[in-house]
C-alpha cells in the first residue's frame, strides 16, 4: 500500500504509569512528536537509539529481525512505548534500530489504533463509521 510520513506522538509508558500513580509530575513524562515513515509492509514500530535514549526506554529483550533486503540482524526491543495518532493510542514495545536510522510505523500498531491508510492523500485516517473509538476484531 505504500509508504509516507506521519507525525506520531511517542511517550514512555512507564512514565505515564508513574504519573497516574502520583510519583512524578506531568512535566516529567518523557514524550515527543516524531515524523515516522508509515510502512504497511513492516509489522512493528521501529525507533532509533537516539529516540530510545531521549525517552529513557529500557531494553527488555533482543530479537532477530529480517530487513527488507533479506539481511538478518539482532535488534534490541525497548519499551513500553505509548503511540498516539489523532484520537487513538496504543502501547507496544519497539524495535531499536542502530544510530539515528529513520523511525518506522508498521501495521501492528496501525491495526491496534484502528487507523486506515489513505493512499491517495498519503496519510492515516480514522474510519468514518467509528470516528470516536477504535474497533478491534476479536476472533
Task: Name the burial class of residue 103, with classes exposed (0-12), middle (13-18) and buried (19+) by CB atoms within 10 angstroms of its CB.
Answer: buried
pLDDT tens for residues 17-35?
999 999 999 999 999 999 9
Q: Is residue 137 part of a domain?
A: no
Task: Name the burial class of residue 65, with classes exposed (0-12), middle (13-18) and buried (19+) by CB atoms within 10 angstroms of its CB.
Answer: middle
Please determine, for residue 42, whether its predicted confidence score (pLDDT) is greater than 90.
no
Q: Is residue 102 part of a domain?
A: yes
Residues of the domain holding 98: 3-125
- The CATH number of residue 113's host domain is 2.40.70.10
Predicted pLDDT at 77: 98
Predicted pLDDT at 138: 84
Q: Is residue 139 part of a domain?
A: no
Predicted pLDDT at 2: 58
Going by pLDDT thresholds of 50, 70 and 90, the confidence category of residue 128 is very high
Give me the mean pLDDT over the 1-8 stretch.
Answer: 81
Amino acid at each position: 500500500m505504500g509508504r509516507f510520513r506521519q507525525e506520531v506522538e511517542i511517550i514512555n509508558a512507564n512514565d505515564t504509569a508513574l504519573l497516574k500513580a502520583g510519583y512524578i509530575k506531568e512535566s516529567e513524562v518523557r514524550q515527543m512528536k516524531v515524523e515516522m515513515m508509515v510502512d504497511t509492509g513492516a509489522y512493528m514500530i521501529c525507533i532509533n537509539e537516539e529516540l530510545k535514549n531521549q525517552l529513557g526506554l529500557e531494553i527488555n529483550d533482543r530479537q532477530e529481525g529480517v530487513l527488507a533486503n533479506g539481511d538478518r540482524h539482532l535488534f534490541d526491543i525497548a519499551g513500553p512505548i505509548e503511540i498516539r495518532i489523532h484520537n487513538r493510542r496504543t502501547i507496544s514495545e519497539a524495535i531499536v534500530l542502530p544510530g539515528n536510522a529513520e523511525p518506522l510505523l508498521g501495521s501492528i500498531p496501525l491495526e491496534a489504533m484502528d487507523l486506515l491508510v489513505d493512499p491517495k492523500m498519503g496519510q492515516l485516517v480514522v474510519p468514518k463509521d467509528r470516528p470516536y473509538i477504535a474497533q478491534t476484531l476479536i476472533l
